[in-house]
Chains A and B, each alone.
Chain A
Amino acid sequence: MINLTIDGQQISVPEGTTILEAARSMHLDIPTLCYLNLEKIKYLNQVASCRICVVEVEGRRNLAPSCATPVAEGMKVVTNSKRVLSSRRKNLELIISNHPFDCLVCAKSTDCELQRLVWEFGINTQRYDGERSEHAIDRSSSALKRDPNKCIMCRRCETMCNEVQTVGALTAFGRGFNTIVAPAEKEPIVNSNCVFCGQCVSVCPTAALTGIGYIQEVWAALFNPKKTVIVQVAPAVRVAVGEEFGMAAGEAVTGKLVAGLRRLGFNAIFDTTFGADLTVVEESKEIIERIEKNENLPILTSCCPGWINFLEHSFPNLKYMPSTCKSPQQMTGAIIKTYYAEKMGIDPKDIVVVSVMPCIAKKYEAALPNEETYGIRDVDYVLTTREVAKMLKEGSVDLRHIQEEEFDNPLGQSTGAGVIFGGTGGVLEAALRTVYEKATGKTLEDVNFTAVRGLNGMRIAEVDLDGRLVRVAAVAGLGNARKVLEKIESGEEKFDIIEIMACPGGCVNGGGQPYAEEREEIIEQRLSGLYQLDRNTKIRKSHLNPAIQALYQEYLGEAGSHKAHEILHVTDLFSAAVKQK
C-alpha cells in the first residue's frame, strides 16, 4: 500500500493506483475530459492529452496529469491551488478557442462534456480570436455523422475502435494544430472499413461523432395526411428512455412510451419484440436444420448489423455462417408492409415505418439495398432512443406522468424471450428456449440459461438437446468476436451456435442510448430491467406467442416456408454497398 496526502488528507491505496483514482476514492472530483475508464468492458483511454486533470505534486517541477500519474510513497498532492486552477482554466479556454461556438444548434447541447466543463468553470468569454481549424463535415453514410471541427483530440473514439472493437477505422491524422481523428486519408467514413457499430459515438465527449438524425423527416411524415406512419420500439429502448426524463436507469417505461408515441400522432405503435419472437421462430428452424445435418456450423446470429458488417470486412471466408434471417427491426417492418398492409387494406407505398432503436447501426441497416420486400423498404426511418426522447419533449409529452397504454395489435404482443434480445446473451437464450422444444419435442421446464448472461466478453455453455450436446456462446464486443472467429477459422475451437453483438453488453449499451459516460452501473441496471420484464411476462417462449402463431396460420404458413423466406430472410446478407478494401 502507498501512503500519500491529497489536499491535506491522508490516504492509503494499492501500488499502481493513479492520483485520479486515489482522489476519487476520497470523493475528490478532479475535473477530467479525455480520460475515460470503462473497467467492465476493458476500455481505458488514458492519453493525458487534455491537461484538465492536472494537479500540483510537491517536488515536481511542472503540474502532473492526475489520470496518468501513479502515486508514490509520501507524495503530497494539491488539486485546487491557484496555479492548478489557472492552468486548468487556460487549457479549457484554449480548447474552446478552436471549437465552433454553435452550442445553441448543436445536437449535443446539454449532453456535451466540454460544454459542461466550460459551464462548471464559469467561463464566460472567448479570450482568443485566432485561427480555427476548418474541416469538412462528413454525412456520407446513413448512420454516422462526423464533424471534425468539434474534435478535441481526446482519442477516445480511436481507442475504442482500435483496441476494444479492433476495427481500426480511425486514426489521428496530420500533425500539430489541425490534427484530428479521422478515417484513413480523411476520406468519407462510408469509404472506410467502419462498421457503424456506434461505440465511438457513445464515448465521444462532444458532437464530433453523432448519429445522423431523422427527427425532421419523421415529423414531416407524421404531418403528411397521405401517409400511415407506424412506429416500432426495440426492447433495449424501454429500459433506457426514461433516463432522458430523469427516471431511473433500467426502469421499464414501456406503457408510458407507447402512450407518448400515440400522442405524437403515430397511426400504430408496434413492438419490435414481436419481431424478435418472429426471428426466434425462423432462426430456430435454421439452427435445428444445420445441427441435424451437422453442416455449416457454427451458425451465427445476424440481427446486429454492426457485427455483420464487421464479418464482411474482416472474415469474408465465413460469410456462409450467419443465419439468413433479417433482424427483428427488419422483420417487423416487412410484416407491417405486407401482412398488416394487406389486412388493413393500405397500399404499402403509403406506409412509413419508423423504428426506435438503441443504436446507430440500425440506421445503416435500414438503408441497405437488400433490406426490402417486394421492392418496398422494410423500414423507412430509424430514430435513436435519444432522438425519440427529444421528439416526445417537443410533442408536449411528460414521460414521467403520462398514463400507460398498450401496444397496438397484431404486432403488439410479445414474450419474455423476445424482450431479452436487448441484452448480450438474450438472443441466444431466447433461441435456445424454442430450439429445445422444437428439437426434442419436450417441454422446457426451466427457461433460464443464466450461463450466457452477464458483461463478460464471452460466455460459453453446453446445452443437452435430449442427448445431442450443443456448444453455444454469447459474445459481445467486436474485439471478442475477432478472437473467437480466429479460433474457429483455425479450427482451434468448435461451436454450434454463437450470438454476436457489436456492443459490449449488447443493445442496452448501444450507440443510440442516453449517454452513460463512465457510469457503467447504468448498463447493468438496464440489463436487469430486461430480465425483470422477462420474469414478469407470462409467456416466455417465442413460439408460444399467440400473435406469432396467428401470423403463421393466417399468412406465412410455417417456419421456413417459401413466403417466410421471401419476406423474412435475405438471399444475400451482404450489402452491395460494402467497399472492398
Chain B
Amino acid sequence: MPEIRSQQQLTDAYEQYKGLLSLRLGKAVDDKTRLVLVCGGTGCQASDSQKIVEKFQKLIIDNGLQDQLQAEIAGCFGFCEKGPIVKIFPEDVFYVQVKPEDVQEIFDQHLVGGQKVKRLLYEDPALKVKIDTSDEISFYKLQHRVALRNCGLINPEKIEEYIATGGYQSLGKILNQMTPEQVIDEMKKSGLRGRGGAGFSTGKKWEFARGYANDEKFVICNADEGDPGAFMDRSIMEGDSHSVIEGMCIAGFAIGAHQGYVYIRAEYPLAVKRLQIALDQARERGLLGKNILGSEFSFDIAIRLGAGAFVCGEETALIHSLQGMRGEPTTKPPFPAQSGLWGKPTIVNNVETLANVPVIFERGADWYSSIGTKTSKGTKVFALAGKINNVGLVEVPMGTTLREIIYDIGGGIKGGGEFKSAQTGGPSGGCIPKQYLDTPIDYESLASIGSMMGSGGMIIMSDHDCMVNIARFYMEFIVEESCGRCVPCRIGNKRMLEILTNITEGKGTETDLLELRSLAETIMDTSLCGLGQTAPNPVLSTLKYFMDEYEAHVIEKRCPAGVCQKLMRYEILPEKCIGCTACARGCPVGCISGAVKQVHVIDQSKCIKCGACITRCKFGAVVRI
C-alpha cells in the first residue's frame, strides 16, 4: 500500500476510497448491488456474528456474485439487546437477532431476490409494528452519533474505509496550516471536557502540558475502562480505532510529544487486536511514525496492556502501571501535565475524548459547542444496561434528559417493573431517583443531585432492586479494587462494607447509619486518590434518596424490594404443597420436615435463607416474604 506523504496525497486517497461507502450512505448503484454489514462488537461476536459474516462471504463467492455483493464486519451498532445485527445497504434495512442459520434465507430472499425478510426485522414493542430502517427505530432517533460516528459504518480493520470518511484530514490540516497554540485554542473553544468522568477541560489540560518545557513529553490514552457496566470505550476501540489514533496524534502535536501509549485493559482482546491492526496500517501508510504525512512531525504509539486492576484507570496509577510497577496512585500535585510518565509532562485522555478530537477540527469548534448545554458541550456516549429493554450504546447531546434516554431511547423498564433509579458514574457515582428523571444530563446538573457523569455507564434499576444492596454491591467492588495504599480507603471502605453487609443481613442499627455518614466524610476528605474520594458516593446518594429502604432494613428488618436473602422468610403454603419432598431433599441444613405426600414445614430457626427450596418447588408452594 503506498505511503501518503502529503495532504494532497491524502485528499487523493480520499477521492480514491470514498466510493467504498457510497452504498452505506444510501447511494444505490443499481437494484442488484448490495452490501451486508454485520456487527463485529464483542457482544455480537459472542453470539456468532463472525460466523454470520463468514457465511455471507462464502455464499457470495460460491455464487460468483463478488461484483455486486459484499459482506463486511463493522463496529458495534450499539443496539446490543437485539444482537447480532445485520444491516443491508443501500436500503439500510435493519435485521435483528440474526443466527447463522438465517444467512441462507437473507442471501436468497434479500441479497439476490431484493425482498426483505420480514420476520427478522425489528419490531417496535409498543406499536407492535415491524420497522425497516434504523433511523426509524426509536432507539436511534434521538441519538446524535459523533464519537460513534464511524462505529457500525466502516470495517475497522480497513484503513481505506476510515480515510473514505474523511479520516486523517484533520491531522493533515493541522500539520500543514496550524500551530500547536491554535490547536489548543480551538480545543478550548470547543468546550470538550474529559469523557473519562472528571470532566476537566481537554483544551486546558493540553495547555498546561504545553506550558511545561521539556525535550520529552507523552500522550497516554486511557483505555482501561474499568467501570462495571461501561463499554463505550471498548466499542470505539473495536469499531473505530483510527479516530483515537488520529486524536492522539493531534494531541501530541499540540503539546509537543512524540510518543503515545494506549493503556488498554487485558479484558478487551478484540479491541487490542483491532487497535494493533489499525496502528500497523496507519504506520504503513505514513499516517503514524516518522514524518507524518511528509511533515516534520513524528509521533508513534505503542500498546500497553493492563492486568486487571480497576484503580489503574486513575491517571497516576495508570502511569505507574505503565512503568511496570504496582498500580498505586500518588499524590497530586504534581499533576501529570507537569510530571507524569518517567517524570515528564504527560497528558492522559480518555478514549471517547480522543475520538471526538478529529471531528472537532473537521467541523469546527463552533459546531461542536453548539451542541449540548452551556457548561457541557458536545455529546456523550452512554452504555445503557440493567433493567432496561433496549440495552446498548447510545450517544446523545448533553442536556438530553434521563427520561428521554430511559423511555424514548431505552424503551422503558424490562421485566415489567417500575423505574426506581439510574446509576451513573459507576462505583464513584450516585443513584438518581424518579423525581429527577427530567434532569438534563450535564456535568454540573448531575453533580448537583449527588451523582456524576462518570465515564458513561448507566445502570437502570427497578423496584425489583434493593438500593441498600446496590450500595453494598458497589462498596464490595471498591474494597476488592482498592490498591491498599492509604488508610481511609483501605480500611475505611472495608468498615463501610461491613456495616452495609450487616444491614442487608438484618443486623444493622440506626447508629450504623450515622457511622456510615461519619466514615463517608473522612473517606471522601482524606483518601489519596479519586477511587477512595468517590467511593462513598453510592452510599450517600442512596441514603439521601432511599432512606425509607435503609430504615426498613434496620428498624423493621425487612427488605422492601425482596432482594436481601437474609431478610426474607421462606414459607410453605399448605394449600399448594403436595408433599413431593423435593424441597426437603435439597435443603442444605435439613430444616424442612414432612413425610411423603404430607404438607412440609420449614423450621425458621434453622433456615439459612439460601433459597434452594423455592428453586426446587415445581408447585409454587414455597413463597418468599
Contacts and interface: CB of A to CB of B under 8 A. Distances in A.
Contacts of B309: 175
Given A90-B522, A130-B494, A51 B487 contact: yes
A62 B482 contact: no
Interface stretch (A93-101, A253-261, A407-415): A93-101
A47 interface: yes
A69 interface: yes
Interface in A176-223: 176-179
Contacts of A49: 485-487, 528
Contacts of A83: 525
B481 interface: yes
A65 B330 CA distance: 11
Contacts of A5: none
A292 interface: no
A176 B486 contact: no
A94 B525 contact: no
Given A48-B331, A51-B486, A86 B480 contact: no
A87 B484 contact: no
A128 interface: yes
B494 A91 contact: no
A172 interface: yes
B484 A175 contact: yes
Interface string A524-558: 00000000000000000000000000000000000
A288 interface: no
Interface in A458-475: none
B482 A177 contact: yes
A62 B333 contact: no
A289 B563 CA distance: 85
Contacts of B326: 172, 175
Query: Chain B: interface secondary structure?
Result: helix
B488 A153 contact: no
Contacts of B521: 86-87
A128 B495 contact: yes
B490 interface: yes
A54 interface: yes
Query: Chain A: interface secondary structure?
Result: loop
A153 B498 contact: no
A97 B495 contact: yes
B498 A130 contact: yes
Contact of B490 (A48, A130, A177): A177
Nearest to B481: A176
B484 A91 contact: no
Contacts of B533: 62
Contacts of A120: none
A15 to B, nearest CB: 13
A128 B483 CA distance: 21
A391 interface: no
B481 A94 contact: no
A401 B286 CA distance: 86
A177 B482 CA distance: 8
B522 A87 contact: yes
Contacts of A69: 331, 333
A50 interface: yes
A152 B488 CA distance: 12
A87 B483 contact: no
Contact of B495 (A86, A130, A172, A178): A130
Nearest to A88: B526
A127 B491 CA distance: 13
B479 interface: yes
B524 interface: yes
Contacts of A172: 326, 328, 484
B488 A91 contact: yes
A179 B525 contact: no
A335 B525 CA distance: 63
A439 interface: no
A131 B482 CA distance: 16
B323 interface: no
Contacts of B330: 48
Contacts of B494: 98, 130-131, 177
A47 B485 contact: yes
B487 A94 contact: yes
Nearest to B478: A176
10 contacts: A48-B528, A49-B486, A50-B487, A51-B486, A51-B526, A54-B525, A87-B521, A90-B522, A98-B491, A178-B484
Q: What are the 4 A-B residue pairs with the smallest beta carbon separation, nearest first?
A: A179-B484, A90-B522, A94-B491, A130-B498
Given A48-B331, A49-B528, A172-B328, 10 more contacts: A51-B526, A63-B525, A86-B521, A90-B519, A91-B488, A91-B526, A94-B491, A128-B498, A152-B487, A174-B484
